[in-house]
Amino acid sequence: MLRGLARLLGERPFPFHIVLGTSAGALNATFLASHAQEGSRALERLAGFWWRLRSAQVYRLNAWRLGPPNLLTAGLTLMWQVRRHRALLDSLPLVDTLHRHLDLPRVEAALADGTLDVLGVTASSYTSGEHWTFFQTARPDCTAWRRPGRRAQAQLIGIDHLLASAAIPFLFPAVPLWVEGHKEYFGDGSMRQLSPLSGAIHLGARQILVIGVGQPQRAGLAAPADATAEPSAGTIAGHALASVFHDTLMADVEQAQRVSRTLAQLPSAVAALLPYRPVQVLALQPSASLDALALKHVHELPAGTRDTLAGLGALETRRAGAGSAAALASYLLFEPGFVHALIRLGEADALQREAQLRAFFDDAAPAAAVP
């Protein structure tokens, strides 16, 4: 979607004052921040990064091979992976990829010269159960905050913050981060994210462009071909992950819009006394099911990953809940066919919203992106 936005905006200064991201969005936000001084070309650079990405640059899974894929070899593979890496996948390739493609000192330079005001990423603490927003800024008015279940703290954003925000539970290991003088272990920021817009609002955004991954209909919720078939372990895992990452984004968007409409209708003297200000929110979501798209590209998974999922029964598309199995596979698909299809879908969806996007960026108020 950002690639489509780049086409609409043309050559101009970096279009966002605040950039926040969660999970893979944390990687996107930080990549954008590191190229913010290049203006709107940063959006195209981000698309180029994903266009060239491969699964081998994100994770490693060394699968046992004892004949055709089966439950025994899949179990041995997963047991070996967990003992060595504290998770089902080895995420060291992602560490190397981020070090090679992110220039974090350029983030600090963009913040120092005013090209960017704030970079923020979110992660969920396994230790305390709280949801944290870590933000880096040169603005003295941005301070830490605390709400029930949600915290924020100013820190220099590093590779560890990105690994923590994108650490899908069970698949990637928990990441230790230091908060308020002690160590806590963190996982994917999309878990228990009750108020995705709160970080941008706390940091002063009055316009927010939201890019989410909510789907018009999850393939896993569609009627299966054989409703009587017993779900496989992979199907159950895919359904469980979909539940863990229950999308609260649009509910938060609707609430922000509703409160903003109410504030706009109040007499100006009354509204000035309240600690709230209207927020303009434009939310972009995929127009097609990403699970269904993933199902078309399952064959592109690396051989070891494909064999392990097949051994678990997660790639049996004729069984009940094939959509949930596709959802599980989609978390692991970083191959060209699937990624390129996602980028083309997002670009087309952005161009379909051309009038709204142009109107949004023609407004002079500070904008925030929440990818």
Q: Point out the residues that are catalytic.
A: 23, 188
Do 14 and 37 meet the contact criterion of CB atoms below 8 Å apart? yes
DSSP lists the bridge partners of residue 152 as 133, 145
Rounded Cα gap, residues 157 and 163, in angstroms: 11
Rounded Cα gap, residues 274 and 230, in angstroms: 55
> What count of other Cβ atoms lies within 10 Å of the Cβ of residue 345?
17
Rounded Cα gap, residues 144 and 150, in angstroms: 11
Rounded Cα gap, residues 279 and 263, in angstroms: 10
Rounded Cα gap, residues 247 and 192, in angstroms: 10
Which spans in the chain are helix H?
Answer: 2-9, 24-34, 41-51, 71-85, 92-101, 104-112, 159-165, 198-202, 233-244, 249-265, 268-273, 290-296, 303-311, 322-330, 336-352, 354-362
Do 238 and 324 meet the contact criterion of CB atoms below 8 Å apart? yes
Contact residues for 319 (Cβ-Cβ < 8 A; gap 6+):
224, 226, 229, 231, 232, 235, 313, 325
Q: How many residues does the chain have?
A: 371
Contact residues for 220 (Cβ-Cβ < 8 A; gap 6+):
238, 239, 242, 291, 321, 323, 324, 326, 327
Q: Which contacts (CB < 8 Å, 24+ apart) does range 179-186 have?
A: 179/125, 179/132, 179/151, 179/153, 180/153, 183/127, 184/125, 184/126, 184/127, 184/128, 185/125, 185/126, 185/127, 186/123, 186/124, 186/125, 186/126, 186/127, 186/132
